[in-house]
Amino acid sequence: MAPIVQAVNLSKQVISGDQPLAILQDVSFAVEQGDSLAISGVSGSGKSTLLGLLAGLDVPSSGTVYLDGVDIFSFDEDGRARLRGRLAGFVFQSFQLLPTLSALENVMLPLELRGAADARERAAEALRCVGLAQRLHHLPKHLSGGEQQRVAIARAFVAQPKILFADEPTGNLDAATGAQIIELMLELNCAQGTTLILVTHDEALARRCNRQLLLAAGRGGLTNLGSVINDSLA
């Protein structure tokens, strides 16, 4: 069976001034279904760029990405968006909730976009699973940061995606709340078999995942349960 996510010789260059700047260089790795992978490294090491490429939100200079065995860059932007809609969920540092919708309505949104007749019931159950059964009808501005991130996690998991991409999901939270959010994401990762790929600068959080990809100067070293598999994937 093909890995659920596979990066092959992935590189990204941009022009800085009149010179090319390499953000990522020949990064290759694979993630199996249900696995959890933390992408870590210092600021500017290419973490968020890599996540964007894995999700098809950005286009590489060379190399490619396979999601569920499909070369995502064989599609145009609209095709990649449809593939993401079928396979992936997202959690962002800034929550990305719609401010005029209640918690329940925010979580219902991806289900309604798919035409699910039971969107309200499934969204309510998802919010119950993240501990917000009493906050269904609150607007985001009436929720704490931790509660808003729980809504975002419920929204990401409600359609039972095969892959969840998370970009610094605890970046706007205090340490205690951040630890609770990571625990919740890992619980849902195990319960639903959703593959979790997250960007984090927090080494303690990275160690909670099964595997860690450490980026430095645009290159990645993959670690599995503390044992180095590749010192360099270039």
The torsion angle over the Cα atoms of residues 175, 36, 234 and 219, rounded to 10 degrees, is -10
- Expressed as residue numbers, the domain containing 29 is 5-230
pLDDT category of residue 45 using cuts at 50, 70 and 90: confident
Task: Return the top range by mean pLDDT from 41-55, 94-108, 194-208.
Answer: 94-108
What CATH number did the domain enclosing 80 receive?
A: 3.40.50.300
**pTM, 2 dp:** 0.85
DSSP 162-224: SEEEEESTTTTS-HHHHHHHHHHHHHHHHHH--EEEEE-S-HHHHTTSSEEEEEETTEEEEEE
Please name which of 194, 202, 122 lies closest in space to residue 164, comparing C-alpha atoms: 194
pLDDT category of residue 231 using cuts at 50, 70 and 90: very low
Q: CA-to-CA distance for 154 and 132, rounded, in angstroms? A: 10
More confident residue, 51 or 174: 51
What mean pLDDT value characterizes the chain?
87
Task: Give the pLDDT confidence of 141-181 residue by residue, as tens digits.
Answer: 999 999 999 999 999 999 889 999 999 888 888 888 888 88
pLDDT category of residue 226 using cuts at 50, 70 and 90: very low
pLDDT at 229 over 70: no
195-199/163-167 β-pairing: parallel
pLDDT category of residue 43 using cuts at 50, 70 and 90: confident
Among the listed ranges 14-18, 103-107, 152-156, which one has the minimum average pLDDT value? 14-18
Q: CA-to-CA distance for 42 and 212, rounded, in angstroms? A: 14
Half-sphere exposure of 215 (CA within 13 A, CB side): 30
pLDDT at residue number 233: 33
| CA-based radius of gyration for the chain | 18
Q: How many domains does the chain have?
A: 1
Please measure the distance between the N-terminal and C-terminal CA atoms of the chain and give it in whole angstroms. 24
227-230/219-224 β-pairing: antiparallel
Q: CA-to-CA distance for 109 and 101, rounded, in angstroms? A: 10
